[in-house]
Amino acid sequence: MGEHLERVRPLVVQEARYAPKHAEGLQRPGGDDSATVAGLPSKLANDFSNLSPKRISYVTGGLITAVIGILMMPWRLYSDAAAYIFTWLIGYSSLMGALGGILIADYWVVRRQQLAVRDLFLQSGRYSYVNGVNWRAIAALLIAVLPVVPGFIHAATTPGGQVADPTILDRLYTYAWFVTFILSFTAYLVLMRTRPVEAADRAPSFGQPITES
């Protein structure tokens, strides 16, 4: 280990000498946006490819991402700052809150921070559920998102995204992240009570191959 560290040390020192210049470039206006534009398409290309690896290659996934990105007309999101905040950002946060509630409830409460590492890579493991889909998680997601959908539609169809005379549904949408997080967290815990959770086994050694056994 010490021999390998000695080989790496000169590279680290050399990189540190140039780090300030790189950092200065990253701090320029638009630096974060450029990194996002370059980084997110590659992730989405992998996501589409993982849906059907035999039919969708990485390149095809990238082309699908590019087409969807154009059809979304993102330039219209930046044409009105108020509409961008009250439609896109809040609407996006409602999905993030719902997903976050499910993930946190599952890992921290249901499984008590214990995962069966081997089963994460098995098609017939304890995390395969029904044909690879945990319908309880899907149901919790829908339960959490549905209450804020009317407010989203109202904001999306209102110029500027700001509703003049908000109803209770519009107010729920304003706090979409908190609403969806609490609902998905609670709904997932209730739904998972009907499914016993197996205790996680000890993590296998890295030298052991992961096979269907």
Quickly list DSSP for 110-142: ISTT---TGGGG-TTSTT-TBTTB-HHHHHHHH
Q: What is the per-residue pLDDT for 85?
A: 82
Q: What is the pLDDT of residue 21?
A: 44
The confidence score (pLDDT) of residue 90 equals 92
The residue type of 104 is I
Dist CA 145 CA 148 (whole Å): 6
DSSP one-letter code for 185? H
Instruction: Measure CA of the first residue to CA of the last residue in the chain; give whole Å.
Output: 34
Cβ neighbours of residue 131 closer than 8 Å, sequence gap 6 or more: none
By residue count, the chain amounts to 213
Tokens, residue 130: 């029904």
pTM: 0.69
pLDDT of residue 211: 57
Q: What is the pLDDT along the chain (213 residues), one digit of tens a residue?
A: 445 444 444 444 444 444 444 444 444 455 556 666 677 788 889 989 988 888 999 999 999 999 998 998 888 777 777 778 888 889 999 999 999 999 999 999 999 999 888 888 888 888 888 888 899 999 999 999 999 999 999 988 888 788 888 999 999 999 999 999 999 999 999 999 987 666 665 545 445 555 555
